[in-house]
Chain A
Amino acid sequence: MKDRKIKVGLFIPCYINQLYPQVGIATLELLEKLGVDVYYPQGQTCCGQPLGNSGYEEDSKGICNLFVENFKAYDYIVGPSGSCIYHVKHHFDILEQTPEVVRVRENAYELCEFIVKILGKTDLGASFPYKVGLHKSCHGLRGLKLGSCSELKGDHYSTEEDLLNEVKGLELMSLNRKDECCGFGGTFAVFEEAISSKMGKDRVQDHLNSDVEVLTGADHSCLMHLEGIVNRNKQPLKVMHIAEILNSSL
């Protein structure tokens, strides 16, 4: 009997669905290229993170249950947003831990981690001849442990760097502060507007100082915030999700 192909439920977070369809498209195409069966469950909305982080976890139970309902049938749940996946893994403890909830939490993966850890691939045949700066999003880095954190003693590793280093023509630039937060933080971006904007501005400047042409990352919420600053200030920096780079053949 032939090996059954891996069934992946594609999770496209709400803001990516509405505002950054190209990120969803790149994610889907990339996964298909890698030979997995990708399903996009209709009726998916959000992981509940915006509510949880604002203190309205109780009001997010309906959202979380819907998420489990939508994704319980798949081997893996993969999404191009580290913070959403972190929320599913870490904060779905507010639900009754039925076998379905447990399975969904255990099998939810951020896109890069899924490719490197589950599929065991780093060279995806992409080419992208630009100087790239990697923004390591906090929930992916410190939450999902996609890479080593500058605060902790230990050997260096990075899931996203493993992938980017294999992209033809891509030059990964070294930043001054390797894993400082960009200041997005969900509703923080609005309720602590001054600090949030300043943090974003500082992060963008670090990339500019490091001669970065394209700023990328595995969490588009951070990128949305940084892109907003780049566009407002008309700075010479393009912002792209890592899936778009890994799906490139320029």
Chain B
Amino acid sequence: MSHASKAAEFNKDEAKVNWHDKALWYVREKRDKSAHNVQGWEYLRQLGSSIKANVLSNLDEYLVQFENNAKKNGVQVHWASNAEEHNNIINSILDKHHAKKVVKSKSMLTEECHLNPFLESKGIEVVDTDLGERIVQLAEEPPSHIVLPAIHKTKEDVDELFQEHLGTKPSGGNPEYLVAEARKHLRDKFLKADAAITGVNFAVADTGGVVVCTNEGNADMGVHLSKVHIACMGIEKIIPKEKHLGVFLRLLARSATGQPITTYSSHFNKASEGKEMHIVIVDNGRTEQLSREDFRASLHCIRCGACMNTCPIYRRSGGHSYDYTIPGPIGSILSPGKDLKKHSSLPFASTLCGSCSNVCPVKINIHEQLYKWRQVIVKEEKQPVIKKTILKTAGVVLSKPGLYNMAGKSARFMLKYAPKAMIYNKLNAWGKARDLPEVKNDNFDDWYKKRKKNG
């Protein structure tokens, strides 16, 4: 199903659309306030972008450097070409430790690899410990936003879900009560966990350490209470030096939620005595994206979600309408690289307004890449006959002034004299909620000619 049809479905409940739009716009406004408070903000974005560009141009060497430094600290490093290898590596680590209960903090990569269903099929309990992720896990839904996974749920939805799964009392959707109950429920999971899986926000080549950012403290509760820590990262998470965290940690939370920094920015370099730390480095299509000059910069992404919060389409269509792990503008330039056919409607789910590129903390030219993906898709994927015919014909007509003049006249004639029922029919998507322009007597050409003639 295309983005447009899913979006139309979401739009059947206008009150919910308004609520979703406002909730995310509020985050966008917090982002503006917080970012604009920083001296040198635009330069900071430029730095973030340039550092990431350097990383991509030297990625193999940074990864090897990272691996060497991590190994020196006793960390075990694994490499996975794809989702399957990633899942198998994790399963084998868990197997070695007879780990049956796993707590996982937020990691879009493990979502991308569909790790949870894989581990569950092996009889392992995986509990997502970020509250938003736990909510969607209980609801058996994918996250609809990368930073705010349950943004599509109302507090009443959560209330019902917790009554069913956690045995809470009806509270009319009291957030304090619900969070307190979730804390109790998840604390028990932390205390009993055999292993902790985390994502990675930044992997530092010159120290071999990884940084994980959370507000809830769930990554740390998991890691510090279990015997094994498995950190999963895409190859593009590398930054060259530790001091560059001074750039990226200033950008990340401000762009994401408008906070000056996340509550916890945890630096994991070594396992505690008697424990193990593993890092799984994953490709899963990233090196292929690296080969595409026009789309390479999409790998700069630090997963802040700012482009989603600002996107007027995302705000009004919901994350699930994108049907991809990473929704919104950034997802729409990443997903065609993974499966052009499946995601071919996503680069068209945009007006190319450019707001995404303006908020991006690492200055990805998102809207320009959307434009470029459109050119690729039209060439490589079969297009709807009507759309293709119209546009191809327009290409010819508009390059021949004589034809254009004739076409313009007949279109104006139609608009002026055709019966309303013929114009506002089912085939006319324009006319569903909008009137067509009223046609005046002359077009500009005619007027201009008359004026010249009359001197």
Contacts and interface: CB of A to CB of B under 8 A. Distances in A.
Given A52-B371, A185-B350, A194 B391 contact: no
Interface of A: 12, 14, 16-22, 24-25, 28, 40, 42-46, 48, 50-60, 62-63, 65-66, 91, 138-139, 142-143, 149-154, 177, 180-181, 183-202, 224-225, 227-229, 231-232
B398 A177 contact: no
Of A139, A149, A185, chain B has the most CB atoms within 10 Å of the CB of: A185
Contact of A195 (B313, B377, B400, B442): B313
A46 B437 contact: no
Contacts of B387: 54, 187, 191
A232 B348 contact: no
A190 B371 CA distance: 17
Given A62-B399, A195-B7, A55 B377 contact: yes
B448 interface: yes
22 contacts: A17-B444, A18-B411, A19-B412, A21-B446, A24-B444, A25-B444, A45-B398, A50-B394, A59-B392, A60-B398, A62-B400, A63-B399, A142-B354, A186-B351, A188-B348, A189-B430, A193-B8, A193-B433, A195-B11, A201-B433, A224-B437, A228-B435
Interface stretch (B34-42, B189-197, B214-222): B34-42
Contact of B358 (A57, A91, A151, A195): A151
Contact of B404 (A14, A57, A195): A14
Nearest to A62: B399
A151 B367 CA distance: 15
A192 B313 contact: yes
Interface residues of B, number: 72
A21 B383 CA distance: 34
Contacts of B8: 193-195
A154 B36 CA distance: 8
B439 to A, nearest CB: 7
Given A62-B395, A66-B399, A21 B4 contact: no
Interface string B336-365: 000000000000111111110111000000
Given A180-B355, A181-B312, 19 more contacts: A12-B444, A14-B404, A17-B444, A45-B399, A54-B391, A55-B375, A58-B379, A59-B392, A66-B399, A138-B354, A142-B357, A187-B387, A188-B350, A192-B348, A197-B434, A199-B313, A202-B21, A229-B433, A231-B434
Contacts of B7: 192, 194-195
Nearest to A47: B398
B391 to A, nearest CB: 5
A192 B394 CA distance: 20
Contacts of A143: 354
